[in-house]
């Protein structure tokens, strides 16, 4: 049977689409296989591989801000609706903004994460609890979601599985995490390594409370979200008033 030229084109398009989907969604499958063959990275090997170039990209921003590198503390402010991650660091006069990173992918809508599988990016005040040099998404930094606040209200509402494994990572694909691209995660991974995870805080907000008050999503009102948004606003306003 003779196959028409239009069929060949259609088959080619389907093949390309499958390859693209495999390259993106199949990372969780082929990356571990690749690591098994070539060996896993360590934090030290990652810093050796990417650290110098990452710092060379970052240091001019510190110079422009008049801040010595590395700083004492790091604050990362994530704004979900603007898809923006702001890098702030300590100076003698408080915190200074160093640069913005675009959030290249983040699933879900306005509102906190409530349970595993809801595809929501959490909202709240978090700390980084680990650096992952073997992420399926290049490199990643794990947040302490669910934190004490999240767990307290999950338990009160009978939500036994509020979810876990929330990261800031590379690439441009994410379900519940913040994907910022490979170059950006190399810079922040190196910076947090130098500063220390205990000296790094991450605040995630649905929008910028310095521009307009935070409000709950209609149909998903919960009394504790008002308190959550008040604490997020308090953190953000510290920087908006500088």
pLDDT tens for the chain, residues 1 to 242? 555 555 555 555 555 555 555 445 544 444 454 444 446 899 999 999 999 999 999 999 999 999 999 999 999 999 999 999 999 998 787 899 999 999 999 999 999 999 999 999 999 999 999 999 999 999 999 999 999 999 999 999 999 999 999 999 999 999 999 999 999 999 999 999 999 999 999 999 999 999 999 988 766 679 999 999 999 999 999 887 66
CA distance 94 to 119: 35
Q: Specify whether domain 40-240 bears CATH 1.10.10.10.
A: no
For residue 185, give both structure tokens.
């995660």
CA distance 170 to 103: 10
The pTM (predicted TM-score) of the whole model is 0.84
Number of CB atoms found within 10 A of residue 241's CB: 8
CA distance 189 to 199: 13
């Amino acid at each position: 049977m003779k196959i028409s030229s239009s069929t060949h084109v259609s088959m080619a398009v389907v093949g390309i689409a499958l390859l693209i989907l495999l390259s993106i969604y199949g990372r969780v499958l082929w990356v571990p296989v690749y690591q098994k063959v070539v060996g896993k990275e360590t934090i030290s090997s990652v810093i050796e591989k990417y650290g110098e170039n990452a710092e060379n990209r970052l240091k001019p921003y510190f110079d422009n801000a008049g801040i010595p590198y590395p700083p004492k503390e790091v604050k990362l402010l994530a704004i979900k609706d603007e898809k923006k991650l702001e890098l702030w660091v300590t100076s003698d006069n408080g915190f200074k903004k160093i640069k913005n990173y675009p959030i290249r992918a983040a699933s879900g809508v306005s509102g906190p994460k409530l349970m595993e599988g809801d595809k929501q990016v959490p909202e709240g005040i978090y700390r980084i609890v680990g650096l992952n040099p073997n992420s399926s998404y290049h490199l990643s930094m794990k947040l302490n979601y669910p934190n004490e606040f999240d767990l307290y209200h999950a338990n009160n509402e009978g939500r036994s599985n509020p979810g876990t494994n929330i990261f800031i990572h590379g690439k441009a694909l994410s379900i519940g995490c913040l994907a910022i691209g490979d170059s950006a995660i190399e810079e922040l991974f190196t910076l947090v390594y130098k500063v220390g995870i205990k000296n790094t805080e991450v605040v995630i907000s649905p929008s910028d409370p310095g521009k307009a008050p935070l409000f709950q999503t209609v149909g998903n009102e919960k009394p504790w979200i008002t308190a959550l948004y008040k604490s997020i606003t308090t953190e953000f306003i510290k920087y908006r008033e500088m």
